[in-house]
């Protein structure tokens, strides 16, 4: 097999591993997610070895010429990837076992906040007849709250103004009633002063007592 055919075969294997790993990673079962992560880890290791260049001797000083040595960087990165994949696999195994013990299955549950946002979006879409973006929904809710606050402030100011006008009108009415009483009282007092002492039947007007 020629090096070109070998590289094409390795590239196809890497692509297949990445495809299968991505598909399994998007499932709801923790075991499938675990297998997907393992496949992605193997695909990453193989990709690092492919892009590391030609194979050669071990990169140890004094054993061979530098031009005959292989590149040590991809090998170190692949070793690090193996360790990280192993740790993540162990964690997911413990998580799947815990979920199976408590819930009876290893299915990943929906997030409460995500479910609330989806339900709110569905309600608004049914009310308006259009699909709404969750970010736009939050912005509209904020705008609605601000509008309600401004309306409440305007109503409060209007109520205070109306109360002030009512108090002013009552004060003006009281002053008007007082002036009217004074005007009605002045002729009465003048008439009393002009009438003089009361005359009895034995002392008609014009006679001297």
- The C-alpha atoms of residue 149 and residue 203 are separated, in whole angstroms, by 83
Per-residue confidence of the chain (209 residues) as pLDDT tens digits? 555 666 788 889 999 999 999 999 998 888 899 999 999 999 999 988 888 777 777 777 777 777 778 788 888 888 999 999 999 999 989 988 888 888 888 787 777 787 888 888 888 888 886 544 555 555 555 656 666 666 666 666 655 555 555 555 555 555 555 555 555 545 444 445 544 444 544 544 444 44
H helix or E strand, kind and range, residue 97: helix 72-103
- Of 110, 47, 121, 38, nearest in space to 77 by CA: 47
| Tokens, residue 33 | 């997610």
Residue with tokens 């995500």: 114
Sequence-distant (≥ 6) Cβ neighbours of residue 56 within 8 angstroms: 68, 69, 70
Domain boundaries, the chain: 7-54+74-109, 111-161
pTM, to two decimals: 0.49
| Tokens, residue 88 | 């993540």
Domain 7-54+74-109, second-level architecture = Orthogonal Bundle (1.10)
Sequence-distant (≥ 6) Cβ neighbours of residue 51 within 8 angstroms: 74
Q: Are 33 and 25 in contact (CB under 8 A)?
A: yes
Residue with tokens 């013990």: 101
- Of 20, 16, 21, nearest in space to 89 by CA: 21
């Amino acid at each position: 097999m020629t090096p070109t055919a070998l590289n094409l075969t390795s590239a196809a294997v890497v692509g297949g591993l990445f495809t299968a790993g991505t598909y399994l990673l998007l499932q709801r079962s923790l075991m499938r997610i675990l297998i997907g992560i393992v496949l992605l880890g193997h695909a990453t290791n193989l990709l690092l070895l492919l892009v590391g260049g030609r194979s050669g001797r071990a990169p140890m000083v004094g054993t061979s010429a530098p031009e005959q040595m292989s590149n040590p960087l991809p090998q170190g990165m692949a070793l690090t990837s193996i360790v990280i994949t192993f740790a993540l696999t162990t964690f997911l195994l413990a998580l799947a076992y815990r979920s199976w013990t408590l819930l009876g299955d290893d299915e990943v549950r929906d997030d409460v906040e995500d479910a609330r946002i989806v339900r709110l979006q569905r309600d608004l879409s049914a009310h308006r007849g259009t699909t709404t973006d969750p970010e736009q929904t939050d912005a509209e809710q904020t705008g609605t709250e601000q509008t309600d606050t401004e309306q409440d402030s305007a109503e409060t100011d209007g109520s205070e103004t109306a109360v002030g006008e009512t108090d002013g009108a009552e004060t003006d009415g009281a002053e008007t009633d007082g002036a009217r009483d004074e005007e009605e009282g002045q002729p009465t007092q003048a008439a009393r002063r002009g009438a003089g002492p009361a005359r009895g039947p034995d002392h008609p007007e014009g006679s001297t007592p």
